[in-house]
């Protein structure tokens, strides 16, 4: 497993020193050492690109501080949270717990990068979506360097039917998303309404406690925002047929990070509310039928492959 460059945010110099001892003893390095105070919120973001992960150990009153909470939410690197920051006396069980978290993260980072797709596209849909997505996959050739994440508003328990439908009509094998699943090239991850996920920068899914935020289950906005924050211009979203406006807010965020926003033509949609809401953001660059979106994506991905080979 690789040695990690760890950033530390601790509630005191004493706790920071103990965490440094633990990190170095586990074979890793401390790339940043911050003590929680008025300046640490900005400092976290300033050095985030220099670390592989953050080890956070804060007392309750500091963990709830607004400025720190906002900065922690913006970090791109994975977080390892000490869930018992008061236990700083190097008791064996405390050492084993934190060391285990470091070891698990190192294993994830070491295992995945070669298998993560060059491009990651979210397929977003609600009413009328399954037929549109089936039409999209029916025209999409095999072998493209892409992983799909399919977010469909659907009653709980019916996600498996989507997996089965995709495996009948798609060259990109589907599975239900779960903690530990990966954004591997040539696959489709179907998101469940009762399992909220986020993704590490290496494409590994991690479970998030609680229900999906907002009125939609699962939340297209949340999935697109999470993936866009991790993968930027490598990420795209296609908004297919559906009611409501889920996905429109995140489309703006994704475009700001260099990602692509495409929609199904409203006139080809069973219900055009979601495509229209996405179009109203002003960030959509392609608007075609599902079959035409498939052919366009294949062309763009092949052009990118040829450009990479040329360089």
Catalytic residues: 126, 153, 246
3-state secondary structure the chain: CCCCEEEEEECCHHHHHHHHHHHHHCCCEEEEEEECCCCHHHHHHHHHHHCCEEEEECCHHHHCCHHHHHHHHHCCCCEEECCCCCCCCCCHHHHHHHHHHHHHHHHHHHHHHHHECCEEEEEEECCCHHHHHHHHHHCCCCCCCEEEEEEECCCCCCHHHHHHHHHHHCCCCEEECCCCCECECCCEEECCCCCCEEECCCCEEEECCCCCCCCCCCCHHHHHHHHHHHHHHHEEEEECCCCCCCCHHHHHHHHHCCCEEEEECHHHCCCCHHHHHHHCCCCCCEEECHHHHHHHHHHHHHHHHHHHHHC
What are 13's two structure tokens? Answer: 């110099």
87: Cβ contacts below 8 Å, ≥ 6 apart: 94
CA distance 248 to 150: 16
């Amino acid at each position: 497993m690789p040695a990690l460059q760890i950033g530390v945010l601790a509630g005191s110099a004493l706790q920071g020193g103990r965490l440094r001892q633990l990190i170095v003893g586990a074979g890793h390095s401390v790339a940043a050492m911050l003590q929680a105070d008025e300046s640490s919120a900005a400092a976290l973001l300033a050095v985030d690109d220099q670390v592989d992960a953050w080890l956070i150990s804060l007392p309750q009153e500091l963990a709830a501080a607004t400025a720190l909470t906002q900065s922690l939410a913006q970090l791109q690197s994975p977080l390892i949270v000490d869930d018992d920051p008061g236990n700083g006396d190097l008791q064996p069980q405390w050492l084993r717990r934190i060391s285990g978290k470091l070891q698990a993260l190192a294993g994830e980072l070491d295992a995945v990068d070669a298998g993560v797709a060059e491009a990651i596209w979210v397929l977003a849909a609600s009413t009328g979506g399954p037929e549109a997505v089936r039409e999209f996959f029916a025209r999409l050739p095999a072998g493209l360097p892409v992983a799909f994440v399919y977010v469909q508003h659907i009653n709980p328990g019916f996600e498996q039917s989507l997996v089965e439908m995709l495996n009948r009509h798609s060259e990109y094998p589907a599975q239900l998303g779960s903690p530990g699943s990966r954004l591997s090239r040539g696959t489709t991850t179907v998101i469940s309404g009762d399992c909220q996920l986020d993704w590490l920068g290496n494409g590994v899914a991690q479970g998030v406690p609680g229900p999906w935020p907002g009125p939609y289950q699962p939340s297209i906005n949340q999935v697109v925002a999470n993936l866009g924050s991790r993968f930027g211009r490598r990420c795209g979203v296609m908004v297919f047929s559906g009611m409501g406006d889920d996905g429109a807010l995140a489309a703006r965020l994704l475009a700001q990070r260099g990602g692509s926003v495409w929609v199904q033509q409203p006139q080809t949609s069973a219900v055009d509310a979601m495509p229209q809401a996405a179009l109203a953001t002003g960030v959509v660059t392609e608007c075609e039928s599902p079959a035409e979106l498939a052919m366009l994506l294949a062309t763009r991905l092949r052009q990118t492959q040829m450009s990479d080979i040329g360089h």
